[in-house]
């Protein structure tokens, strides 16, 4: 069987000419590839230096198929969705004619024309959509709203995998966990959890893009106001155009923290292993993989109650749900954590570890084969 994956995943060439791509997606494809004769990944090749979170493909049967980057916040970026359309359609057309089935990753700019194009010009194509965004987002961008409307109404007559479970979910829309853990990491997490100690200073981690939507500013404001004696160190992993401003704010506030930039997966795991609490005060999410990764290493998630997060994180059972997405919401949760005994926090961490069991690659591949490919 031959598989194609069509996405907007960022790829780069490293200094020695090695192709690398955004770590979470490449890692997922590396785990899928052994189950297929050939895997094509149609995705974007960018110029410039790859971020540290990038990684290379490890399986010899994976072939990268280049399409130009597109999208952005300015007019030129928005127009590029249209100007790149002919070459993207040409590449997609060429590859899907060579495979048995393919996965289309949405929402993204090319979804607005690829979904109708596939319906008209490839009506018998066998594929499924992985919708990685917030399926229940109330006011999504116009393009995302169109793609979700199209998929909800099953105009493509295909399976759609989404984060979470939703009222009135159509039969063709299947709830799927986003994989991020190997069996080795599960075993390592089990041993780490045995040693995790919540009796002393508590260390915290923020991992994500440096945008106000993701909440890095709210985290810094909260730690500026917190005066609790058990607050330890704040690890900040990620990057963005405003990184310098956030570093200055943290320095002026006297926060004990370190900005790491983006890190490879193994280094992110090391941060989670030595942290007690993950902070994710985001305004909108699908289901961020870092929540399951943190839970796997006994790091308690503090998250906003958006999208599917409350379906997995149960307040005061295996993590904490923020009552409001602001600094006060973070402060309230941290004070709640500090008020609990070490044994109570350890019990919650054990529950969090159990929750993350559904996010393994092995389970994901098994479900892809039995619930998706077998039905195509």
- In tens, the pLDDT along 160-217 reads 999 999 999 999 999 999 999 999 999 999 999 999 999 999 999 999 999 989 999 9
Cα–Cα distance measured from residue 54 to residue 208, given in angstroms and rounded to the nearest whole number = 14
Domain positions in the chain: 2-179+360-375, 183-358
pLDDT tens per residue, range 79-123? 999 999 999 999 999 999 999 999 999 999 999 999 999 999 999
Measure CA 293 to chain center.
11
Give bridge partners of residue 22 from the DSSP assignment.
54
The arithmetic mean of pLDDT across residues 6-31, rounded, is 97
Q: Say if residue 267's pLDDT is above 80.
A: yes
Fold adopted by 183-358:
Rossmann fold (3.40.50)
CATH of 2-179+360-375, one of 3.40.50.2000, 3.30.70.20, 3.30.70.120, 3.30.360.10: 3.40.50.2000
Closest CA to 24 of 210, 370, 263: 263
Cα–Cα distance measured from residue 367 to residue 84, given in angstroms and rounded to the nearest whole number = 34
Q: How far is the first Cα of the chain from the last one, in angstroms, to the nearest whole number?
A: 13
Cα–Cα distance measured from residue 142 to residue 186, given in angstroms and rounded to the nearest whole number = 39
Q: What is the pLDDT of residue 376?
A: 85
pLDDT tens per residue, range 237-255? 999 999 999 999 999 999 9
148 near 126, Cβ under 8 Å?
no
pLDDT tens per residue, range 23-71? 999 999 999 999 999 999 999 999 999 999 999 999 999 999 999 999 9
282 near 249, Cβ under 8 Å?
no
């Amino acid at each position: 069987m031959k598989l194609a994956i069509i996405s907007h995943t960022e790829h780069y060439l490293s200094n020695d000419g090695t192709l690398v791509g955004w770590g979470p997606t490449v890692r997922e494809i590396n785990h899928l590839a052994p189950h297929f004769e050939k895997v094509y990944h149609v995705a974007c090749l960018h110029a410039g230096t790859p971020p540290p979170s990038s990684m290379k493909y490890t399986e010899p049967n994976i072939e990268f198929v280049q399409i130009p980057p597109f999208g952005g916040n300015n007019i030129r970026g928005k127009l590029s969705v249209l100007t790149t359309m002919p070459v993207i359609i040409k590449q997609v057309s060429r590859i899907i004619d060579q495979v048995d089935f393919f996965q289309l990753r949405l929402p993204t700019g090319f979804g607005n024309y690829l979904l109708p194009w596939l319906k008209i010009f490839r009506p018998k194509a066998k594929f499924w959509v992985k919708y990685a965004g917030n399926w229940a987002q109330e006011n999504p961008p116009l393009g995302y709203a169109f793609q979700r409307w199209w998929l909800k109404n099953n105009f493509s007559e295909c399976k759609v995998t989404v984060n979470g479970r939703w009222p009135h979910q159509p039969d063709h829309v299947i709830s799927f966990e986003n994989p991020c853990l190997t069996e080795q990491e599960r075993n390592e997490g089990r041993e780490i959890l045995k040693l995790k100690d919540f009796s002393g200073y508590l260390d915290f981690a923020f991992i994500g893009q440096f945008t106000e939507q993701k909440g890095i500013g709210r985290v810094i404001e909260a730690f500026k106001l917190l005066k609790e004696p058990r607050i330890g160190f704040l690890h900040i992993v990620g990057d963005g155009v405003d990184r310098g401003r956030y570093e200055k704010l943290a320095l002026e506030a006297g926060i004990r923290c370190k900005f790491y930039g983006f890190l490879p997966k193994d280094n992110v795991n090391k941060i989670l292993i030595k942290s007690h609490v993950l902070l994710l005060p985001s305004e909108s999410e699908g289901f961020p993989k870092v929540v399951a990764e943190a839970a796997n290493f006994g790091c308690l998630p503090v998250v906003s109650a958006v999208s599917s997060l409350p379906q997995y994180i149960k307040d005061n059972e295996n993590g904490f749900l923020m009552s409001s997405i602001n600094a006060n919401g973070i402060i309230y949760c941290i004070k709640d954590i500090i008020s609990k005994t070490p044994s109570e926090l350890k019990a919650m961490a054990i529950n969090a570890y159990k929750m993350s069991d559904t996010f393994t690659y092995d389970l994901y591949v098994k479900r892809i084969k039995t619930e998706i490919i077998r039905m195509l």
